Amino acid sequence: MPTYSATAIAHPNIALIKYWGDRDPRLHLPVSGSISFNLDKLTTHTQVIFNSELHADALSINGTPADEKSLRRLSNFLDIVRQWSATPLFASVVSENNFPLGSGVASSASAFAALAVAAAHAVNLSLTEQELSRLARHGSGSACRSIPSGFVEWQCGESDEDSYAQTIVPPEHWQLADVTAIVSSEQKATSSAEGHQIAATSPLQAARVADATQRLDVCRSAILERDFDKLASITELDSNLMHAVMMTSTPALFYWHPETLAVMKAVAAWRQSGLPVCYTVDAGPNVHIICLAEAASEVATRLSSIPGVAKTLCARPGPGASLVE
């Protein structure tokens, strides 16, 4: 009975310049580029076994069989791997995250990055980093950014072939940290996939997209120059712009809770008083606080005294996805 297996590890990433809105929802082709860094302490570890005895794909996440929606998303992704490699076999996939679901850290990025690396290797597809990033993008847009190491830019490209992510600088270039303030662990009501599809209904989206190249340039140069003030203002502006689009879409999406705004305001005040911090918020209520690594423990202490902050998670810029031998 032929079996082909491989295991890979990948990290989620936090976007400083966000991806919000698809030109092509099936291919996850974005309306503009984005910039992120991988989160070193947080991991997804995934084993893929293609097996001639299986009659369907199977998926377990953190020891529990996945629901039908997740299984369908997995099979759609594996269909691409089967097509690229001319492998007819079904696969059994076992995935473990070391961070809780609903923690405000998008697990789909690390999930599809680890899956892309493991599945491609299992079927002997020898892919370049760019091709792996493209492949991961088919599963989840932000997953293409978890393939390369460190600080990463996803160029939006014009087609399936040229929409992938590349390293701007390696993780050790800049000692930053991401401290996530968890204010709610509830599963969000509207997924990113649904949000991307209604982004264009906001009259603000066109202005947000028109200005994206400029924001990407400012963010990239802030990273290259290790200019924290420049990074802080562009990161907060980009997050606020995305949430303005969300709130003015049809239907309107309000991801913030009262505690979200309380943390954002506190962070802005801390920066005013000299602490090197800024905030960014994804499609959920939890707040990512980006800071110089030397300030991370002070940030975590201050966050824990804000009512409603249940927990904090801390990570530093990390490596890309890799095989586990």
User: Cβ of residue 94: shortest distance to ligand DP6, in angstroms?
Assistant: 21
Q: Tell me which of 7, 10, 19, 123 binds ligand DP6, using CB under 6 A.
A: 19
Q: Which is nearer to ligand DP6, 49 or 287 (CB)?
A: 287
**Span of 138-146, 168-176, 181-189, 215-223 interacting with ligand DP6 by CB under 6 A:** 138-146
User: Cβ of residue 128: shortest distance to ligand DP6, in angstroms?
Assistant: 22
Q: Which is nearer to ligand DP6, 46 or 142 (CB)?
A: 142
User: Cβ of residue 22: shortest distance to ligand DP6, in angstroms?
Assistant: 7
The vertex-18 CA angle with 267 and 238, nearest 5°, equals 50
Q: Given strand 44-51, what is the order of strands in its sheet? A: 64-65, 58-61, 90-97, 44-51, 3-10, 322-324
196 near ligand DP6, rule: CB under 6 A? yes
Tokens of 17: 């310049």
Q: Dihedral, CA atoms, 75, 78, 79, 85, nearest 10 degrees?
A: -160
283 near ligand DP6, rule: CB under 6 A? yes
Q: Which is nearer to ligand DP6, 4 or 151 (CB)?
A: 151
Q: Tell me which of 8, 21, 29, 34 binds ligand DP6, using CB under 6 A.
A: 34
Taking the CA atoms of 256, 258, 264 and 268 in sequence, report the sign of the dihedral they define.
positive
Number of alpha carbons in the 13 Å side-chain half-sphere of residue 112 = 29
Helix axes 107-122, 129-139, angle to 10 degrees: 120
Asked whether the beta carbons of 143 and 112 are under 8 A apart, the reply is yes
User: Cβ of residue 99: shortest distance to ligand DP6, in angstroms?
Assistant: 15
The residues of the shown chain that bind ligand DP6, judged by CB under 6 A, are 15, 18-20, 28, 34, 106, 108, 140-142, 192-193, 196, 282-283
